[in-house]
Amino acid sequence: MTQASLGESVVQKVVHAQNNGVDASKTHTQPLWLLAEVTYRCPLHCAFCYNPTDYDKHTKNELTTEQWIDALRDARKLGALQLGISGGEPLLRDDIEDIVIEARKLGYYSNLITSGVGLTEKRITAFKEGGLDHIQLSMHDITEEINNFITNTKTFELKKKVAAMIKNHGYPMVLNVVIHRYNIGHIKEILEMAEALGADYVELANTQYYGWSLINRNQLMPTKEQIDHAETVTNEFRAKVGKKMQIFFVVPDYFSDRPKKCMNGWGEVFMIVTANGDVLPCHSARVLPNMQFPNVKERGLEWAWKDSPAFNKYRGDDWMKSPCRTCPEKEKDLGGCRCQAFMLTGDAEIADPVCSLSPHHHVIEKAIEDSKNPQLQAQPIVFRTDKNSKKFVNDELPELIKEFHALP
Amino acid sequence: MTTSVNHADIYKLARHYRFQWEDAQQCYVLLFPEGMIKLNGGAGEVIKRVDGNKTVGDVVQELEATFPDVPDIQKDILAMFDLAVEKAWLEKIE
């Protein structure tokens, strides 16, 4: 739903906790994190959503409650511990209460990742009784104008109410704020708002460019100077606020010299089950060519994780090409993101172009330049709506995707 | 070594943290919003005993009795407490 679970922050938090490097891979991986993207339907229309632009194809073939519960059970047997219930907006389903109860019984630490739209006293009480462990709320800005603009909805006041509701029910307050050009100048105020709301954790997730955010890249990308400043402000705030509020600043990969260790490695610790039952090693894996992803309706999760060709394809480093293959840093980042490599260069097995050692790094430099071009900046944002999604499905917006090698 | 932890201190698991044994991983884990820690054997034995009643000294004594062959176990236990407090996995009961 938000970019929270997409970014490195979540991944890194697993990494420093344990030894999850490549060495331990291939035969001993476990899907410690299960992300259940239970629906792609969403009342918000965020311009930076990482969901696939053709999500509209998957809104009428969602898994049933029973199928979700089976998936939870199977993943738990494989070692899954952290459960994210995400979307779209998961609260658009009326069976989240049942899923939460089952998750608790199975021993998951469960997290509802929500925009807050649809959260009522009645539902949150049921979640608490059912054993939901925490709720991650997306916030967008301190100003009503920008919140409502970037989500293309009027949800600002509602979000503040929901934040209070979460706190009143004794939940840890986890706020996720996706950062982009329109709110990056307000980091200090956003953190002050988080503190005032009593947030325990704040994720400042710089937009990464997948799905809708890739389409809107020129309109969303801040400058390097803005990001550096935002990080400085964050560090100052962190020093001031101490341990009572943990702040994670997810650095945007376009401005790094090296790529992120995407998903902490392909098929290493993350497993995603999408609304229609596809089982993926990362959120956007369906953009990759010549890949058949497993579906829970066909075979179980054990086969998907351990034996499916898709999950094994990029485990370890046998698949790597030059310059990654001989790179002394290859284990640090595993060559970055396969989806980004393919989307931006047309080859899924070369270095993520974010890497300054990639022979295709110029595509990133061009993207950064383009985002400074006033003419491109002024193009209208394409909001995440069913109508726009249908247009992408029907190939009615070819201009917007012509520079990418797959539909974002 | 310097430590912020005293023998008379009493700790409990921080709010919103869950500690449980995991069969699939054969270890204790700490679960919390957005993260998890797999604890090695020794760390698991320490956290298992932190219950909001026992003092640090009680935990040291218990572990010394349970693992009499481990040399200088107290140092490791206090280091574990230090780490857990620093990481905010544990909260001190005032």
A79 to B25: CB separation less than 8 angstroms, yes or no:
yes
A30 to B33: CB separation less than 8 angstroms, yes or no:
no
> B1 pLDDT exceeds 70?
no
**DSSP code string of B71-82:** TTHHHHHHHHHH
- Quick: pLDDT tens for B27-81: 999 999 878 888 988 899 999 999 999 999 999 999 999 999 988 899 999 999 9
Spatial neighbors of A71 by CB under 8 A, at least 6 apart, are A34, A36, A63, A273, A277, A296, A301
- pTM as predicted: 0.90
Reported ipTM: 0.85
Residue A266 DSSP SS3: coil
pLDDT digit string (tens) for chain A, length 408 residues: 344 333 233 333 333 333 333 333 344 689 999 999 999 999 999 999 999 999 999 998 999 999 999 999 999 999 999 999 999 999 999 999 999 999 999 999 999 999 999 999 999 999 999 999 999 999 998 889 998 988 888 888 899 999 999 999 999 989 999 999 999 999 999 999 999 999 999 999 999 999 999 999 999 999 999 999 999 999 999 999 998 899 999 888 999 999 999 999 999 999 999 999 999 999 999 999 999 999 999 999 999 999 999 999 999 999 999 999 999 999 999 999 999 999 999 999 999 999 999 999 999 999 999 999 999 999 999 999 999 999 999 999 999 999 999 999
Cα diameter, chain A? 57
Q: Are A85 and A99 in contact (CB under 8 A)?
A: yes
**DSSP code string of B11-47:** EEEPTT-EEEEETTTTEEEEEETTEEEEEPHHHHHHH
Q: Chain B: give the shortest CA distance to residue A82, in Å.
A: 8
Using alpha carbons only, give the angle B8, A243, B75 rounded to the nearest 5 degrees: 40
- Quick: pLDDT tens for A42-94: 999 999 999 999 999 999 899 999 999 999 999 999 999 999 999 999 999 99
B24 to A79: CB separation less than 8 angstroms, yes or no:
yes
Spatial neighbors of A372 by CB under 8 A, at least 6 apart, are A223
- Distance between CA atoms of A47 and A219, rounded to whole angstroms? 9
Q: Chain B: give the shortest CA distance to residue A19, in Å.
A: 9
Please tell me which of the candidates A9, A78, A133 has its beta carbon nearest to residue B24: A78
